[in-house]
Structures are given as structure tokens and as C-alpha cells.
Amino acid sequence: MGAFECFGILRLTGLIPFDLVSFLLLHREYKIWETGVGLKVYGLQNCDSCRKAKKWLEAEAISFEFHDLRKSPIDAETLRHWLSSIGAGALINRRGTTWRTLSDSQMTAHGEALVSLIMDHPAIMKRPIFVTEHDVSVGFDNKRKQTLAN
């Protein structure tokens, strides 16, 4: 049972006043049931940017599902979709320590070789990665906060 159903039952039984439900709807807590788990956040558990994003999403009452890329690797089809949606330039972190350990041939990989490389080294992706039904985006800054809050 979701938050909306719980509020509805409590309201019908008189345990929670209708005014409180209206208040919650007006003050953005509606996002708990409006978005469901429509927002998926991919990253690494120990990544500072991912932790900041998770903390902010929770503070804003935006429902999301977090996927740790090391614990639950993503499949090749998902990576292909991300690469076609936002491109390798936006997805690959060329400043990280994992990138610097790669060979020259790995750094110039493209197509299926790049998909394989990312699957083998998920830390070369910029993080966090936000995925909705219609959008894939990378990074967490003020612009992203505004997009996620709307």
C-alpha cells in the first residue's frame, strides 16, 4: 500500500483530517505518490555526488530508486540506450582515476567495445545518472535540482 492509499484510508476513517491531506498536496509532499518510482538514480554507494543527490531527493520528498552500479551492474541494452540518448561525451568521466588507468586503446573505444568497457569499469561513468520515462541525464548541480523539483 502506497502513501496515497494510506492517507486516503486514514482520511476516510476520520483519523486524519481532510485539511491535512490538502496541506500535504499543496506543499510538494504529493511527489511521494505522484512520481511513484518513476525516477531511477544510478551511481556508486560511496560517490559523494550520489550521496548528495540522494540526500537532496529525500529532503525534497521526491521518490526514487537507487541502483548501485557495482552491486547491480546494468545490462548492455541500457548502456546502448544511454549512449544514444546523451552520448559518450556526456556519460564518460575522463577526469577520474579509473579513466587514467585505462590503456590508450581502451580510451579510444567506441560502439560495442565502449559498451563492454563501461560494463567492466562502471566507475568511468559520470555520476549520478538520472533516468525517467522520457529522459536520461548525468550530474547533480543547481540546474538538475530545478529540473527534478518540477
Q: How far is CA 10 from CA 15, 16, 17, 140, in A?
A: 5, 5, 8, 37
Nearest to 65 by CA among 84, 39, 44: 39
What is the secondary structure of 124-148 as a DSSP string? GB-S-EEE-SS-EEE--SHHHHHHH
Query: Is 50 among the catalytic positions?
Result: no
Q: Is the peptide bond before 128 cis (omega within 30 degrees of 0)?
A: yes
Catalytic member of 10, 47, 86, 88:
47
Catalytic residue positions, numbered = 47
